[in-house]
Amino acid sequence: MKESDIEILRLSPTECFEQWDDIKPLIQIAIEDQHYTAEDIKHLLLKGITRAYKVLKDSKTLAVITAEIVIYPRDKVVRIHTAGGTRADLWAEKVIDEITKDAKGVGAVELQIIGRKGWLKILDGFKQQTTVMGKMI
């Protein structure tokens, strides 16, 4: 399988609803904390707050990535918060390119990823800027 064989589709809210049984398991495996459930992300997708990108190879779903637009007082940022699937080494850069185009299209100035440190090994141009930690109080 080559990267050129990979297709990236940005799903509309309607497509997310229609394809939920296909994309939910890949979203679910990517959730790492108590802040989201797959159902929470489904609601955000259906409202258009979060966007889903589906990675296909020969019409088979390899991965689903979700990202949201975060609006700060002075900037917009697109933040990838889930990425679940297989063979990330083949599609990660292509997905980043697609999400970057969308981010620029909405006026975002930064693309952020909240995820495992291992993503740094396969994503060109990204560096660890901070560590996100949490403590229940």
pLDDT at 4: 62
Of the chain, the percentage scoring pLDDT greater than 70 comes to: 91
As for how many domains the chain has, the answer is: 1
Q: For position 61, which CATH number holds?
A: 3.40.630.30
Of the chain, the percentage scoring pLDDT greater than 90 comes to: 62
Say if 126 falls within a structural domain: no
Say if 42 falls within a structural domain: yes
pLDDT at 1: 44
Say if 52 falls within a structural domain: yes
Cβ proximity of 90 and 3 under 8 Å: yes
CA–CA–CA angle 116, 92, 96 (5° rounding): 100
Residues present in the chain in total: 137
Say if 49 falls within a structural domain: yes
Through-space distance between the first and last CA atoms of the chain, rounded to whole angstroms = 47
Say if 129 falls within a structural domain: no
Q: Give the side-chain half-sphere CA count within 13 A for 124.
A: 8
Say if 31 falls within a structural domain: yes
Neighbours of 58 (CB within 10 A): 9
pLDDT at 3: 52
Cβ proximity of 13 and 46 under 8 Å: yes
- pTM given for the model: 0.86
Say if 81 falls within a structural domain: yes
Rounded distance, CA 1 to CA 3, Å?
Answer: 7
